[in-house]
Amino acid sequence: MAFLTDRKRAQGMGSAKEGTQHHWSMMVSSSALLILVPLFVFTFGPMLGQPHDNVIAYFGRPFPAIVAALTLIVGFMHFKNGVQVLIEDYVHGTLRKVLIIATICLSYGAAGTGLFAIARIAL
C-alpha cells in the first residue's frame, strides 16, 4: 500500500496544456454573446406573430440574417465547450468519451441545421 499525496501522484504527469486556451475560448464566446443576444432579441422580436411573408422578407435582408447566423454559431460553440467541461468534471470512464462525442455531434448538427434554415430564408 502506497501512501502518496495527491500532489505526488500528479507530479511528473504534466498538464494537458489545454486549460488556458479553453478558458480563453469561453471568455471570448461569452463576450460575443453579450453583444449578439440583445441584437438577436431586437431583430427577432418584432417579427414574432407576423405573417410568414413578412418574416421571410425581413430575414431576407442581410443584417437580421447575419445576426441570427452569428448568434447560432457562437451560441452552439459556447454550449459545446461548456457542456464538455461539465461532462469532464462529473462523468468518468467510457461514458465520458461517449457523452463528449455525442455533445459535439449535437452542437455541430444543430448549428448546421440552423445555418441551413437561415440560408434558405436569406437566399
Q: pLDDT averaged over consecutive 10-residue blocks of the chain (123 residues)? A: 72 71 93 98 94 95 96 97 94 96 98 97 91
The rounded distance, in Å, linking the Cα atoms of 75 and 111 is 9
| pLDDT value for 14 | 63
> Rounded to two decimals, what is the model's pTM?
0.83
Per domain, the residue ranges of the chain are 25-122
Residue 93 near residue 120 (C-beta atoms within 8 A): no
CATH 1.20.1300 is right for the domain spanning 25-122: yes
The rounded distance, in Å, linking the Cα atoms of 85 and 92 is 12
**Nearest of 76, 77, 83, 66 to residue 118 by alpha carbon:** 66
| pLDDT value for 22 | 87
Residues ≥6 apart with Cβ < 8 Å to 42: none
